[in-house]
Structure 1
Amino acid sequence: MRTWARTGSGLVLGACTAAVHLLLALPVAAALLVPALRPVAESVVCRLAGLERRRIVVLLGGTGGRAEPPPARALRYLATRIPVGLLGGAVLTLLGIGLTFAATLLFSWVTQTPWVMEREAAVVVSGLLVAYYAVPGAVLLYLALAGAGGVARWERTLLGRLLAPSREEQLTRRVEELSRTRDAIVAAVDDERRRIERDLHDGVQQRLVALGMLLGRARRHPDRAAELVAQAHDEAQRTLVELRDVSWRVYPAALDTGGLAAALESVAERAPLPVRIHCDLPVEPPATVRAAAWFVISEAVTNAAKHSGALRVDVEVAMVDGRLRATVRDDGRGGADPAAGGLAGLARRVAAADGAFTVDSPAGGPTVVTAELPCA
């Protein structure tokens, strides 16, 4: 019922705008012929086409089209949809007349008062007369509703065909998207390389230097060799732990052996604050998607622990319409800047996988980081 009400509202509004566009057709055509008035006329045409697109999308369930189409395409669309809008108005008018006829007929039959449609003679409707009109009335009602639905589909079709980008525009847009994606991939790889180099330099390399110094002292001081070798052994153990941490941050082995849920459990175990993981996946996503999702979640949890002052982090991973959606929510102070280094790096990582990345972090919190990754 709500859908029919929305469709009826869309068709009524479409009939009104079609009538307005018909009245504006001649002035707009004249203005387009005058060079001084052409920019204003083109702006008006584009604005009207944008409003029509919004009407169809909101009320008639249409998709596609451009919010600001080129003037030539907008003009062609408006000229084409005028008869469609007027047809919708005619169908709704006939439907209204039929419903009025049926309502007065039933009212006269129920109240046994003269039928208002018969003004010359005081006719009281009988059950036989109601039955006489019932069958053709039901058929006409069906045809009117089918006609209204057909006009609504026609409106959606015109929107998709006349306001949608051309094949050349789609190819151009795709090339631009691929260029941005390539740049994002290069930037993400550079960020990853710098992060690995920093981890190795600040952690593993320093410990290896300390290990070499201890072994060198043991050679120079044989009398303290046992003590220094024991210290070197401890340093070697710490180096191995540090190296395992670095390799885990690069790509955890659990992603391949146990899947994304197992890898995320390791994120929760290593986090310095409580992390609740809810991973509901009917099937394991592709390896590239798993890796990107794990990296985003791991970095988002790390950022929350370091910068937000959060006491808890909730992670939810689910499959929605063929896309993996990962949401990381913390109860920190908020105010995170999406353009900052860490979050900007995550955005580039997601863009490299043709995904969508959003950050909602009002002052006072909470901060919600969402990444959507296509699995096809």
Structure 2
Amino acid sequence: MLGIARRGLRLTTGLVLGAVMSAAELPFVVLSGLSLLLVLAWPRGRRVVLKPVAVGGRALTEANRRRLRDYITTETSDAYADRRALQYLSLRWSLGLLGIFVLSAALIGAAYGTAWVFILLFREVRHFDTVVISGIGGLFLLFLGMQGAFGVAGLEAKLARRYLGPSHQEELERRIEQLAASRAGVVAAVNDERRRIERDLHDGVQQRLVALGMLLGRALRSQDQQRAGQLLRQAHEESGQALAELREVAWRVYPTVLDEAGLRAALETVAERSAIPVRLDYELSADPEATVATVAYFVVCEAVTNAVKHSGAGLITVRVARGEDAVLVCIEDDGLGGADASGSGLFGMARRVAALDGRFRVDSPAGGPTTITAELPCA
């Protein structure tokens, strides 16, 4: 709810600024059109007029690009032609006026929707039905106004992408760069995983097996039956520990429960094995496809492991939900915060998510909480 309120406030600020800017854009468009019309048949004069018009148009367009980026979260390209900027401004001013009309309607609705409180407190009510009807009507107008504000913001974004968005060539180049970076990230992640498995086997299971062999050898050479029995019991315990460590390594490589029982069961196992209490909110009605489920599992597993090691948290909350064409995975802990997004653990998670063309965010202010969010595209 708080996030929706913040988004609404940000969009409202963007629309108000857009309305203010339309007061400059409309005269600019009118004067520019008249100036160009007067010199339409005069090439030299047209070139003279076009230069200041292009400078002014680019200045207004750049101001709009900053507004769109900061308040409507719409990114555009700076490689647009002057002609496209003028076309954009010739339409943009109308959306600025529409935005102020919509916000005015919302303010009027808010005034009528809350006026009944002050009327009941400070005035004697003679026509209670009129007060109720005006309050309901005001709230309905407020609802329509806020929906209209979101609609105008959407039109602003579409108009900007239409005239200021990256070209098809730029999109292809950006996509090639993303694919190259994600491929390099996948290769690096595979190599890191191989090194980690080798280290776990060498420092853990291999040492256990060496100790097991030594115990069995000593038991075979011992002439004392009691001592040999004691060595065999130690060897039996060592074999159990080696088997447990081998299962742990295999689990970290890939949990079989993910294929056998699904993502929910695998995440429940992660929660059970955690040294810190983990609350799991699993809101998917059906498991996603295997690749998405695998990445979601490893993101949660790595995030929980990092929280246990570094956060000092008392509770970890894991939420898995369905978004619009994506699976949303959110891990939050109530620890000290200050997580380094460039650290090996978080960077590895980001690479896994990027391999699926997903989005990965880390929010970890000093003092906490730390929130890790992954959006994994799925059918």
Q: Alpha carbons of 1:222 and 1:45: their partners in 2 closer, same or farther (altered >3 Å)?
A: farther
Give the whole-Å Cα distance in 1 for the aligned partners of 2:48 and 2:272. Answer: 72
CA contact (8 A) 1:329 1:368 kept: yes
**Do residues 309 (structure 1) and 279 (structure 2) align?**
no
Q: How many residues align?
A: 308
Q: Alpha carbons of 1:58 and 1:289: their partners in 2 closer, same or farther (altered >3 Å)?
A: same
Quote the residue 2:162 is aligned against. 161
Alignment match of 1:52 (pick from 47, 52, 64): 64
Quote the residue 2:136 is aligned against. none
Give the whole-Å Cα distance in 1 for the aligned partners of 2:353 and 2:305. Answer: 17
Give the whole-Å Cα distance in 2 for the aligned partners of 1:161 and 1:53. Answer: 13
Taking only aligned residues, the RMSD between alpha carbons, in angstroms, comes to 3.8
CA shift digits 1:289-314 (9 cap, x unpaired): 11111111111111111111111111
Question: Which shows bigger deviation, 76-85 or 215-224?
Answer: 76-85
| Percent identity for Structure 1 against Structure 2 | 50
**Do residues 283 (structure 1) and 290 (structure 2) align?**
no
Give the whole-Å Cα distance in 2 for the aligned partners of 1:91 and 1:366. Answer: 40
Quote the residue 1:254 is aligned against. 257
Give the whole-Å Cα distance in 2 for the aligned partners of 1:259 and 1:348. Answer: 23
CA contact (8 A) 2:22 2:94 kept: no
Q: Alpha carbons of 1:154 and 1:354: their partners in 2 closer, same or farther (altered >3 Å)?
A: closer
Matched AA of 2:267: L
- 1:51 is displaced (CA, Å) by 2.9
CA contact (8 A) 2:257 2:265 kept: yes
Alignment match of 2:22 (pick from 7, 14, 19): 14
- 1:181 is displaced (CA, Å) by 0.7
Give the whole-Å Cα distance in 2 for the aligned partners of 1:245 and 1:91. Answer: 61
Matches within 5 A, 1:106-117: none
CA contact (8 A) 1:317 1:326 kept: yes
Give the whole-Å Cα distance in 2 for the aligned partners of 1:277 and 1:323. Answer: 19
Quote the residue 1:172 is aligned against. 173
- 1:218 is displaced (CA, Å) by 1.6
Quote the residue 1:351 is aligned against. 354
Q: Alpha carbons of 1:236 and 1:19: their partners in 2 closer, same or farther (altered >3 Å)?
A: same
CA contact (8 A) 1:350 1:373 kept: yes
Matches within 5 A, 1:33-72: 45-53=57-65, 66=76, 68-70=77-79
Matched AA of 1:317: V
Question: Tell me, which stretches of 5 or more residues in structure 1 are unaligned?
Answer: 96-150
Question: Tell me, which stretches of 5 or more residues in structure 2 are unaligned?
Answer: 1-8, 37-45, 102-151
Give the whole-Å Cα distance in 2 for the aligned partners of 1:305 and 1:23. Answer: 64
Quote the residue 1:141 is aligned against. none
Give the whole-Å Cα distance in 2 for the aligned partners of 1:309 and 1:24. Answer: 62
Quote the residue 1:214 is aligned against. 215
SS of residue matched to 1:337 = coil
Matches within 5 A, 1:357-372: 357-372=360-375
TM-score (norm 2): 0.70
Q: Alpha carbons of 1:32 and 1:89: their partners in 2 closer, same or farther (altered >3 Å)?
A: closer
Q: Alpha carbons of 1:78 and 1:274: their partners in 2 closer, same or farther (altered >3 Å)?
A: same
- 1:344 is displaced (CA, Å) by 1.6
Alignment match of 2:91 (pick from 76, 84, 87): 84
Quote the residue 2:105 is aligned against. none
CA shift digits 1:170-225 (9 cap, x unpaired): 11111011011101111111121122112111211110111111111122214333
- 1:19 is displaced (CA, Å) by 1.7
Give the whole-Å Cα distance in 2 for the aligned partners of 1:88 and 1:367. Answer: 39
Give the whole-Å Cα distance in 2 for the aligned partners of 1:154 and 1:265. Answer: 43
Matched AA of 1:52: N
Question: Which shows bigger deviation, 158-167 or 255-264?
Answer: 158-167
- 1:231 is displaced (CA, Å) by 1.4
CA contact (8 A) 1:326 1:372 kept: yes
Give the whole-Å Cα distance in 2 for the aligned partners of 1:76 and 1:313. Answer: 53
SS of residue matched to 1:335 = coil
Quote the residue 1:338 is aligned against. 341
Matches within 5 A, 1:256-275: 256-275=259-278
Give the whole-Å Cα distance in 2 for the aligned partners of 1:236 and 1:78. Answer: 73
TM-score (norm 1): 0.70
Q: Alpha carbons of 1:29 and 1:251: their partners in 2 closer, same or farther (altered >3 Å)?
A: farther
Quote the residue 2:194 is aligned against. 193
CA shift digits 1:78-137 (9 cap, x unpaired): 322454357779999xx9xxxxxxxxxxxxxxxxxxxxxxxxxxxxxxxxxxxxxxxxxx
CA shift digits 1:16-47 (9 cap, x unpaired): 413224546879964976xxx99xx76x6544
Q: Alpha carbons of 1:216 and 1:312: their partners in 2 closer, same or farther (altered >3 Å)?
A: same
Give the whole-Å Cα distance in 1 for the aligned partners of 2:292 and 2:177. Answer: 22
